[in-house]
Structure 1
Amino acid sequence: MRTRQLATLSTALLVVALIAAGTGCGSRTEPGTPGGGTGAEAAASADTDAAAAEKSALAAYAGYLNASRKAELAGNPLDPELRKYLADPLLTRVRLTIRDAKEHGAMRTGKLVSNPAVIGVDLDSDPATVSIQDCIDTTGYRLIYKKNRAVVPGSAGGRHLATATATRYPDGRWLINTGAVHEDQPC
């Protein structure tokens, strides 16, 4: 029973480490369309805004991965760094997964390799969003028991597609609020 719970926990931790819930294709406003302005100035402004959104979203994504690893290692689901990069519903899911690992005496160790790319920007939606796709490599990122450092059964890593959405909040911050690991889609 404990092995089954830890295997389920392992999958949940992998999902958290790799991101957790939605993808979507965004669009950039084209010059000459409503809200897009006209001429070269409007096109340059839209491109600059989209580039800034991409940069901010990728920074939030990298911060999320780093803060999650730090919180997992410390077994601290309330680590304040999480709130700097995550918003609900993903924030709550990450916190619950970290808490569950701690309660089962497990933790992540090793190196997670990430190679994210922006696949969509939608600055016209309310709120604005950026869609991110990543190929996460967890072959060296293991779930282990803290007590004896043994690998938790069923927690093998691999290379899988992950998606995430960064959303711009009213205070101007870009936070990761959804994501998913697509374990059936190796990369």
Structure 2
Amino acid sequence: MRTRQSRRWEIFLLSVALVVGSAGCGTEPEAATGPLTGRAAAPATHSSAEEKAAGKAALAAYSGYLDASRAASARSDPSHPALTRFLADPLLTRVRMAILDAKEHGAMRTGKLLSDPEVVSVDLAARPPTVEIQDCLDASGYRLVYARNGKAVPGTRGGRYLATATAVRYPDGRWLVNGGAAHQDQPC
């Protein structure tokens, strides 16, 4: 029984760190507004300056996502307003569900999650325009603890591992992170 509970918390840690879980539907206005699609969404050719600007905007969205996720997790607040500034579904719903799950189990996040992201591809001709990001996350100092006493949740662990994320440009021009995965089996 203890092993099963420890495994659940380990899986939960993974989902909170980069929020890997089941997809869901959001109800926020940003979730209802889809990414750019159709012929008028993007020109046929793009300059390297446009791709560089897209990569920079996507990295800013990714950094905002990590900051918003840390703030929401530290407060056990799945409705934290910063989440919708940087996230879109299905990732937005997965983040909210992970934070809500932690809250229901009396847990919260403390510490610091270190990140070193880089853009690995930019596709402005895609429908929607997409930027793929790769990151080396260091969760060694980012812990899942019980809110009542600050003790670490059994079976949770940190470490350094590869993470990937996808940012897309939405009709209002914002880049939002809508997908992500943690690859704890791939250290960096």
User: Under a length normalisation based on structure 2, what TM-score does the superposition of the two structures give?
Assistant: 0.83
**Structure 1 Cα separation of the partners of residues 3 and 70 of structure 2:** 23
Cα distance in 2, alignment partners of residues 77 and 60 from structure 1? 18
CA contact (8 A) 2:19 2:94 kept: no
Question: Which string of whole-angstrom CA distances, capped at 9 and with x for unpartnered residues, describes residues 114-139 of structure 1?
Answer: 00000000000010000000000001
Distance 1:142 1:17 in 2: 10
Alignment match, 1:150: 151
- The alignment status of 1:163 with 2:164, answered yes or no, reads yes
Gapped regions of structure 2 (runs ≥ 5):
22-42
Pairwise CA distance, 1:47: 0.8
Contact 2:113 2:142 in 1 (8 A): yes
Q: In the alignment, residue 105 of structure 1 is paired with which amino acid?
A: G
**Aligned partners of 2:16, 2:157: CA distance in 1, in Å?**
15
Say whether residues 1:16 and 2:25 are aligned partners: no
- Is residue 123 of structure 1 aligned with residue 124 of structure 2? yes
SS for the counterpart of 1:119 is strand
Superposition TM-score, scaled by structure 1 size: 0.83
1:68 and 2:69 are equivalent in the alignment: yes
**Cα distance between partner residues in 1 of 2:101 and 2:50:** 40
Structure 1 segments unaligned to the other structure (5+ residues): 22-33, 37-44
- For 2:167 and 2:78, locate their aligned partners in 1 and report how far apart those are by CA, in whole Å: 21
Superposed counterparts of 1:12-91, under 5 Å: 12-18=12-18, 20=20, 35-36=44-45, 46-91=47-92
Q: Which amino acid letter does the alignment assign opposite residue 114 of structure 2?
A: V
Return the offset for 1:11.
Answer: 2.4
Letter in 2 for 1:16: V
Q: Name the residue aligned to 1:114.
A: 115
1:31 is aligned to: none
Deviation at 1:48?
1.0
Tell me the distance in 2 between the aligned counterparts of 1:16 and 1:85. 16
Match of 1:27 in 2: none
For residue 184 of structure 2, give the secondary structure of its aligned residue in structure 1.
strand
In our comparison, the structure showing a higher alpha carbon Rg is 1
Structure 1 runs (4+) deviating above 4 angstroms are: none
CA distance, structure 2, for counterparts of residue 83 and residue 127 of structure 1? 19
Q: Retained in 2: the 8 A contact 1:20–1:164?
A: no
Q: 1:3: how far off?
A: 7.1
CA distance in 1, matches of 2:2, 2:61: 35
Task: Give the superposed CA RMSD.
Answer: 1.9
